Amino acid sequence: MLRPRCRLLVLCSCPEAEPRLFPHLTDMFARPVVPAGLLLPSDDAVDDDDDHDQSFSAAIRWLDEQPRGSVIYVALGSEAPVTADNVRELALGLELSGARFLWALRRPAGGQPLLPDGFEARVAGRGVVSAGWVPQVRVLAHTAVAAFLTHCGWGSTLESLFRFGLPLLMLPLVVDQGLIARAVAARGAGVEVPRNGEDGSFRGGGGAAGDGRRRGPGAGTQGQRSAEGCR
CATH 3.40.1280.30 fits 66-228, yes or no: no
pLDDT over 80 (residue 132): no
Q: Indicate if the pLDDT at residue 195 is higher than 70.
A: yes
- Residue ranges of domains in the chain: 66-228
Q: What is the pLDDT of residues 6-53, one digit of tens each?
A: 889 998 888 888 888 889 889 998 999 999 888 777 766 565 655 555
User: How high is the mean pLDDT of the chain?
Assistant: 82
Q: Residue 106: what pLDDT?
A: 77
CA-to-CA dists, residue 109 to 54, 86, 156, angstroms: 25, 10, 20
- Give the CB-side neighbour count of residue 195, counting CA atoms within 13 A: 16
Give the per-residue pLDDT at 209: 46
pTM score: 0.81
Of 57 and 3, the structure prediction assigns the larger pLDDT to 57
Does the pLDDT value for residue 103 go beyond 60? yes
